[in-house]
Amino acid sequence: MQDRARADKLWHRVAVLCAVAIAFGAVAALTRGREPRPLKEAAPDGFALLLRDPALQAALAGIEAAEPALLDDQVAFTEIPAPPFGEEARAARLKQVFEALRLRNVRIDAVGNVIGERPGLAPRPNLVVAAHLDTVFPEGTRVKVTREGPVLRAPGIADDGRGLAVLVGVARALERGGVCTPGTITFVANVGEEGLGDLRGMKHLFGHELHGRVDAFVSIDGTGHGITNVAVGSRRYRVTFTGPGGHSFGAFGTVNPAHALGRAVAAVADFAVPHAPKVTFNVGRVGGGTSVNAIPEATWFEIDLRSADEAALASIDARFKDAVERAVRRENARWAAGRIDVAVELVGNRPAGRTSEDSPIVKTALAVSRALGLPASLGEGSTDANVPIALGIPAITVGGGGHSSGAHTLAESFDSTDSWKGTARVTALVFALAR
Ligand SMILES: [Zn+2]
C-alpha cells in the first residue's frame, strides 16, 4: 500500500510539474521550432490536457509494479552478444519486441538501426527516443548475467542494457496508460555508439533514414539520473609510418619508422592545452615492427583528441597533424638512406556542440527530474546525442535510473534499487516532449 501511495504521489507531482513546464511554453515550443511559444497560447491546451489526462497517470502508476519484468528484459537483451559491428542478433530481438508493442512501420534500416513509430495526433513534432544496441565487448565475451539480490552483473548490463530496457519500458507504459500524444514518438534501438562505431547509427538516422524529420531527440544511455546537454566531440586517427626497413646493423643509417613515430608522440605529449574549454589528447595504441634487430618497415599509433568546443577541437587537430609532419621531416633529414612516408587516417569523428541550458528540452528534463524528487543536474559527454546537437536539433542524453559500476569492464554491474524511478522519469519526459 505504501508503494502504491508513493507511486500515486509520484505521478501527481509529475503531472503538476509537466503542466507548469508547458505553461511556461517550454515544452510547447518544440512544436513551433526554436522560439518558446507565448504563455497565453500554451496555457489552455497544455494545462488542461496534462492535468486531466488519466492516461499519463495510469502510465506512471503502473511502472513500479512493471519494473521486475523490465529487469528480465534488461537481462535478456544483455545476454544477446552485441559487439561493435555485430549488433544483428540483438537488433532482431528488439524488432520482435517493437512489433509485440504494436509500434508502426517497424523496420531495420540500412545500417542496422531498429525503428518503430508510435503515431500521435499528427506526424510532427516527431520525438526520437533511442538507446544503443552495441557494447564495447568483442565477440566471444561471456555475457551471462548473474544476480545477487538487486544487483545484476554482466558486461553491458548497464551500458546500454539499461537504456534498451527503459526504451521498451517507456513504450509499454504509454501503451498501458492508453496515452495519446499530439506528436509522434519514434523509438530507435541503434547501432554504432561505442568506440569505432563512430555514431554510424545516428549519422545514418539523421543523414538519411529520418533526415529532416526529427524535431527533438532523447538518448537513454547508461544509468543514474543525469542529463547530458553538452556534446564532447572527438577526432580519432590511425597514423602509419612506412620506410624501406632493413637489418638493424647492416642497414644502419636508414630512416626508421619507429623513430619517426617516437618523434611525433613526444611532440604530442608536450602539447599544452586549455582547461576551459577542456581539451584532451591520448595516444591509446602503438604498434609495428617485426623484430628487435630489424629496422621496421611500418609502425602505427592511434590517437583520440577531444573537446566540447568545435573550434578548440579543430585547433588541436591541426597541431597534431603539424606535429606528425614535422616528425617525418626531422627523421628524413636525420638519415641519408630511404624515406619515411606517413598516412593519417581519420577513424573516428564525433561532432561537438551544446544544447543550451535555456532550451525547452533541457528545461523540461530538469523540471521532470525535480518533479520526481530526483537529482537534476546537467553534464557533458560523448553520446549518440552529439549528432543531432551538432545539427542544431534539440537533443539530450539521459540515464535510465538505477546505479552502475565498472562500465566498459568485464566487472560491469547494475544495482536495480529504485530503478523504476528512472523508467518513470523517462516516460514522463517523453510524454512531456511529444507535443
Ligand atoms: Zn552507452
- The per-residue pLDDT for range 313-328, each reduced to its tens digit, is 999 999 999 999 999 9
- CATH-assigned architecture of domain 2-231+353-433: 3-Layer(aba) Sandwich (3.40)
User: What spacing in Å lies between the alpha carbon of 83 and ligand 1's midpoint?
Assistant: 13
| pLDDT in the model for residue 6 | 52
Which one-letter DSSP state was computed for residue 206? I
How far, in Å, CA of 428 to CA of 431, rounded? 5
CA of 368 to the centre of ligand 1 (A): 22
DSSP label of 18: H
CA–centroid distance, residue 197 to ligand 1 (Å): 12
Domain over 233-350 is classified CATH 3.30.70.360: yes
Instruction: Indicate the pLDDT class of residue 55, thresholds 50, 70 and 90.
Output: confident
Locus of grid cell 523540471: 367
> Separation of 71 CA from ligand 1 center, angstroms?
18
| Distance from Cα 161 to the centre of ligand 1, integer Å | 9
Tell me the CA–centroid distance for residue 262 and ligand 1, in Å: 33
Residue 108 CA to ligand 1 center (angstroms) comes to 20
Distance of CA 99 to the CA centre of its chain: 24
207 pLDDT higher than 60: yes
C-alpha 193 – ligand 1 centre gap (Å): 7
Share the mean pLDDT of the chain. 89
- Based on DSSP, count helices (H) and strands (E) in the chain, helices before strands: 12, 19
Query: pLDDT tens, 261-311?
Result: 999 999 999 999 999 999 999 999 999 999 999 999 999 999 999 999 999
The residue type found at 229 is: N
Percent share of the chain, pLDDT over 70:
88
The model carries a pTM of 0.83
**Phi, psi of 77, rounded to the nearest 5 degrees:** -65, -45
Q: How confident is the model at residue 195 (pLDDT cuts 50, 70, 90)?
A: confident
The residue ranges of DSSP E strands in 36-174, in sequence order, are 104-108, 114-118, 126-132, 146-148, 151-153
Q: How far does the centroid of ligand 1 lie from the alpha carbon of residue 255, in Å?
A: 43
C-beta separation of 422 from 225 below 8 A:
yes
Q: What is the pLDDT of residue 52?
A: 55
Torsion, CA 192, CA 405, CA 152, CA 223, rounded to 10 = -60
123-139 residue pLDDT tens: 999 999 999 999 999 99
- The pLDDT assigned to 57 comes to 83
**C-alpha 377 – ligand 1 centre gap (Å):** 18
Q: How far is the CA of 103 from the centre of ligand 1 (A)?
A: 24
Neighbours of ion ligand 1 (CB under 5 A): 159-160, 221
Confidence of residue 122 (pLDDT cuts 50, 70, 90): very high
CA of 386 to the centre of ligand 1 (A): 13
Residue 404 Cα to ligand 1 middle (Å): 12
The residue extents of the domains of the chain are 2-231+353-433, 233-350
CA distance 256 to 88: 43
